[in-house]
Amino acid sequence: KNNTHPQWWRDPGLRRNVFWIAVLYFGFFTWGYSTALLNCLQPLPQFNEYFHNPSGGRLGLIYASQSLPTVILAPAIPWSNDFLGRKRTISIGSLIVISGTIVGTLSRTTGMLIASRVIVGLALPFMSVACVCLVNELAHPRLRGICATVNSSMYFGGVVVVSWLTFATLHWHQSTNQWAWRLPILFQALGPTILVPESPRWLVAHGHLAEAHSVLAQVHANGDMEDELVLGELGEIVDCLVKEREEAVGKGMWEGWKDLWRTEGLRRRMIVVTIIGAGSQLKGTSAIASYITPILNLVGFVNPDKIAVINGCLTTCDFISAIAGALCVNSVGRRPLWIISTAGLLVCFAVMTALAAVFAQSSSMPAAYAFIVVLFILRVFNGMGWSPLTHNYPAEILPYSIRARALSFFTFLETSVLAFNLWLHPVAFQHLGWRYFIVFVAVLSALMIAIWFLFIETRGRTIEQVSLLFDFSSSERRNRMGSTFSDLEHVNGKSLDEKRRSESSS
C-alpha cells in the first residue's frame, strides 16, 4: 500500500516529487544547451567575423575543448558523487558553469572562448552523472521510468532553446553588434541548479538513516513515515548496501574500479555500458548535431537564414521525438525502442549517403530536398530510442555500489570519443565529403548486432530489481520477467546471497 493518489497531479506529495525531478532536468538542459551552442553560433556572420571564420582543425579544437576535461577528471566523478553527495556535486558544478559562462560572454579572443568552454566542460560531467543518479534515486517507483527517460530528453530542450535563440539574434541587423553571439553564451547560465534534495540512497550509505526515511516519506508518501512502500524501499536500500559493503571489505580505491568487471553479471552490464557510451558518439548523429552547416553545404544549402531555420526545426523535431520516446518507454519497452531506433538510423544513413552522392554528381535539387526530409526522419528515429535511453538505461541496470563509478566510466568514454570526433568531423567532411557517411553505416550495422544479442528488457522493475536481472542466465531471466521482487530472491533453489557468493568465488 502507498499513501498516494493514483493520478500523480492530484497528489501533493507526488507533485512535490515531480517538482524536484523537473528542477533536476535543468542539469541535462544545460548540457544540451552548452553542447549545441557552438553549432548554433556557426551561421552567425558576427561570430564568424569576430573569430576570423574558424574551420577545419581550428574549429574542431574549439568544439573539442569542452569535452577534454572529462578525459582527465573522470576518476574524480565517482568520488564527488559518493563522498560529497549528489546534491553538493550538482551545486558546485552549477557555480562552475556560471563562472565559465561569464568568461565566454566576455571573450575577446579565441583563447578566451576555448577557456570558457574548458571551464564549463569541467562541470558538465560531474553534474550529468549526479543528475542521472539523483533522478533515478529520487523518483517515485511508479513514475521512475518516465521521469528518468524524460530527463535524458531535456538535453534536447536545451538544444531547441539555443537553436531558436541564435536564429533570433541572426536577424540583428547591426553587423558590428557582438551581442548577437554573446547573448546566447550568456543564456547558458540560466540552466544550472543549486537547490535539490539529497539522494535517500546516499544518505543511508553515509549513516543518515532517519533523514533518508524522512526524504522518502516526503516524496513518495506525503510524509507518512509508516507507509508500506516507504518502509519497503528503505529496507531494500539498507539490505542492498549492507551486502555490498560486506563484499567491499578490505578493498582499496583501485580495486573498486576492478569491481566493475568482477563478476559475470557485472561484466555483462559494463559491456552494455561500453556499447552505449561509445555507440552514442560513433553512430553519426553527433556529427549532424555539431556540424549541421558543413553537412548542409554538401547538398547546396549555404544561406545562413536557411541553415538556421533548418537547424531550429531539426532540434525541435529532436525534442518532440525524444519526449515521445520517453513516454513510450513503459508501454513499448526499452529493448524494442533500442532495436527500432538503431535500425531506423541505419536505413536513414544509407539513404542519405546515396542522395548526397547523387547531388555531388549532378547538383540535383530534388536529391537535396530529399536529403533534408531523410535528415528529419533520422532525427525522429534517434529521438525514439537513443535519446531517452542513452543515459537512463545504464543508470537503471547498475547496482548502487558501482553506479557512480560505472556512470563515470560511461561519461569518460562518451566524452573521450566525442572530443576526438569533434576534432575529426570537420577534417573528415573537408576531405571525404559525403563518403564520410559510409563510416556511420558500418558503425550502425555493428551496433544493431550488439543490441540484438546483448540488450535485455528492464521495464516494470525497481532499480534494485533491474540490476539483478543481469545476474541471471538468459533462461532464468526469461522465467523471471513476470516475477515479483520476492520471487527474485530465489533462483533454481538458490538464494540471491548464495548465488552472489558462488559467483564471487568463481
The C-alpha angle with vertex 286 and arms to 284 and 290, in degrees rounded to 5, equals: 125
Tens of pLDDT along 51-107? 888 877 788 788 788 888 877 887 788 788 888 999 999 999 999 999 999 999 999
In 171-252, where does DSSP find H-type helix? 179-186, 200-205, 209-220, 228-248
CA neighbours closer than 13 Å in the CB half-sphere of residue 368: 16
**Would you say 196 and 90 are in contact if contact means Cβ atoms under 8 Å apart?**
yes
Please report, rounded to a whole number, the percentage of residues in the chain having pLDDT higher than 90.
Answer: 29
- Choose between 363 and 57: higher pLDDT: 363
pLDDT of residue 75: 76
Mean per-residue pLDDT over the chain, rounded: 83
pLDDT of residue 105: 94
Query: What number is the average pLDDT over the span 453-458?
Result: 86
Q: Give burial (CB, 10 Å; 0-12/13-18/19+) of 3.
A: middle
Query: What number is the average pLDDT over the span 429-444?
Result: 90
Please report, rounded to a whole number, the percentage of residues in the chain having pLDDT higher than 70.
Answer: 88
- Choose between 420 and 191: higher pLDDT: 420
**Rounded CA gap, 283 and 307, in Å?**
23
Q: Which CATH number describes the domain made up of 9-197+256-465?
A: 1.20.1250.20
The C-alpha angle with vertex 422 and arms to 417 and 424, in degrees rounded to 5, equals: 90
Q: Residue 492 above 80 pLDDT? A: no
Phi-psi region of 2 (alpha: psi -120 to 50; beta: other; left: phi over 0): beta
- Choose between 176 and 321: higher pLDDT: 321
Side chain identity at residue 33, one-letter code: Y
Q: Residue 201 above 60 pLDDT? A: yes
pTM over 0.75: no
Neighbours of 472 (CB within 10 A): 19
pLDDT of residue 503: 45
Q: What are phi and psi of 41, to 5 degrees?
A: -80, -20
DSSP for residue 284: S
Partnered with residue 495 across adjacent β-strands are: 490
pLDDT of residue 377: 95
Q: Is 194 helix (H, G, I), strand (E, B) or coil?
A: coil
DSSP result, 300-312:
T---HHHHHHHHH
